[in-house]
Amino acid sequence: MFRKLPRDLLIIYFSLLFFAVGTGLYSVIMPAYIRELGASAVELGLLSAIAMAIGAVAALPGGIWTDRYERRSLMLIGWAMCVPAPLIFAYAPHWMWLIPGYFLINFSMFSTNAMQAYMTSRSSPSERSFVFATVHSAFSVGMIFAPTLGGFLAEQWSMRVTFAASLLFYALSASILLKLAPNPPTACLAKAPLRLDPRLYPKRFWLLVVVFVGVWYVMFLPFNFNTPYLQDVARLSLLRIGLLGSVAAVGGALLAPVLGRLADRVGTWRVLGGCLLVFAVSYILQLLYPSPIVLAIVFFVRGGTNAMMSLMTALVSGVVEEKTLGMSFAMYNLATGFATAVAPYTAGWMYAESAQAPFIVAAILALVFGATFLLAPSRLAHRFAKPAVDEAV
């Protein structure tokens, strides 16, 4: 797997791996921590929505800067912004005091555009699904032991110890990027005027954005309420919930590169549709049979479906133009970011009414999207294929 990745993409892989460890130490058990700080289900959803909205807004300046400035520097700044966030989390006396930490982490997502543009410039179109899925699978690898370790540290000592360990891994992740080769935009791109007018972008790009906004909403609708559900309904401890997070990470680490290679061979739309169907079935099983063995299988398989995010990004990279690379990713990230911001807030209201509601709605919508993608993969591939000469809307 690694032999097929250029040196710079390997550096990004290992940086993401250590960043994932830092995030994984607390992310799975964070909802429980937020509730300990006084947040209700609706307020938990609101905080997640605020965090996602910050990340969505950050996409626009991130796109502008990606098309103007050297991309490694932007990535370094973004990664470094995350380092003090765990310290803020550790000493928050109330859930609202978590917002500054979430601001740092989520506004740092402006550097995601730079990373996506960097990866696009270092990969060939014929292997882009594999490259994106493999590099992003580093996040799953880093999450294999991190949630279990984070849950153990929290139960044996305190969440402050967990956050201290997270800070160290964030710092290590940022330092690895120093070995990355510079990746400035082309001279003509750096001097080109901003293309903020939506009419200047291909119609197929906007159609793709609209479709994927729906998919991102489905994926993130139940995301922040897995931990509360496992606590409230399945009666699991933080350590066991962390262990399930690790199981999901193993699934992502093992399955994501395979799904990426499969997408390059049989078609990304087919694999994306199959992942959505599996995603739906996993939540149905979680609701019907919340036993430890079933949950372990469900989380393992669902971890592999996280490759959907990489597959969608690869599809977007195939329809954008080099002269608008940064801004195209920015508008895509902005749109999908708002979908991920709306999802937890609506899920919070659903969960307050019924603990099963967010999962049922997500499963139904995933079945609809998955069936659509599987029934017409060739038509979708043709519709979103990049012609020799781009048309504008």
390 pLDDT band (50/70/90 cuts)? Answer: very low
3-state secondary structure string across the chain: CHHHCCHHHHHHHHHHHHHHHHHHHHHCCHHHHHHHCCCCHHHHHHHHHHHHHHHHHHHHHHHHHHCCCCHHHHHHHHHHHCCCHHHHHHCCCCHHHHHHHHHHHHHCCHHHHHHHHHHHHCCCHHHHHHHHHHHHHHHHHHCCCHHHHHHHHHHHCCHHHHHHHHHHHHHHHHHHHHHCCCCCCCHHHHHCCCCCCHHHCCHHHHHHHHHHHHHHHHHHCCHHHHHHHHHHCCCCCHHHHHHHHHHHHHHHHHHHHHHHHHHHHHCHHHHHHHHHHHHHHHHHHHHHCCCHHHHHHHHHHHHHHCHHHHHHHHHHHCCCCHHHHHHHHHHHHHHHHHHHHHHHHHHHHHHHHCCCHHHHHHHHHHHHHHHHHHHCHHHHHHHCCCCCCCCCC
Comparing 328 with 26, the larger pLDDT belongs to 26
Confidence of residue 374 (pLDDT cuts 50, 70, 90): confident
Structure tokens at 204: 């197929």
Contact 345, 49 (CB under 8 A): yes
Average pLDDT, the chain: 82
What whole-number distance in Å separates Cα of residue 95 and Cα of residue 92?
A: 7
Residue-level pLDDT at 392: 41
Burial of residue 69 (CB within 10 Å: 0-12, 13-18, 19+) is middle
* Band of pLDDT at residue 199, cut at 50, 70 and 90: low
What CATH number belongs to 7-180+199-383?
1.20.1250.20
Region class of 130: left (phi > 0), else alpha (psi between -120 and 50), else beta: alpha
Terminal CA-CA length for the chain: 39
Please give the biggest Cα pair distance in the chain. 61
93, 34 contact by CB (below 8 A): no
Q: What is the per-residue pLDDT across 141-175, written as a single tens digit (0 to 9) for each?
A: 888 888 888 878 888 888 899 999 999 999 999 99
Of 67, 323, 73, residue with least CA distance to 182? 73
Q: How many CA atoms lie within 13 A of 152 on its CB side?
A: 10
Contact 217, 339 (CB under 8 A): yes
Residue 369 has pLDDT above 60, yes or no: yes
Of the pLDDT bands very low, low, confident and very high (cuts 50, 70, 90), residue 283 is very high
Tokens of 354: 């019924």
| pLDDT for 185 beyond 80 | no
pLDDT digits (tens, 9 = 90+) for 21-60: 999 888 878 888 888 888 887 788 788 778 878 887 887 7
Q: What's the confidence (pLDDT) of residue 62?
A: 83
Least confident span in 69-83, 197-211, 221-235? 197-211
Evaluate whether 170 touches 101 at the Cβ level (below 8 Å): no
* Whole-angstrom distance, CA of residue 342 vs CA of residue 181: 37
Q: How confident is the model at residue 3 (pLDDT cuts 50, 70, 90)?
A: low
Average pLDDT of the segment spanning 318-326: 67
pLDDT of residue 321: 67
d(CA 4, CA 127): 10
Higher pLDDT, 238 or 102: 102
> Which has the closest alpha carbon to 345: 252, 227, 220, 238?
220
Q: Are 381 and 281 in contact (CB under 8 A)?
A: no
Counting residues of the chain whose pLDDT is more than 70, the rounded percentage is 88
**Higher per-residue pLDDT: 107 or 242:** 107
Cβ pair 346, 223 in contact under 8 A: no
Name the residue with tokens 């060739």.
378
pLDDT at residue 383 in the model: 63
Question: In this predicted structure, what is the pLDDT of residue 206?
Answer: 83
What pLDDT was estimated at residue 284? 93
Mean local confidence (pLDDT), 260-266: 82
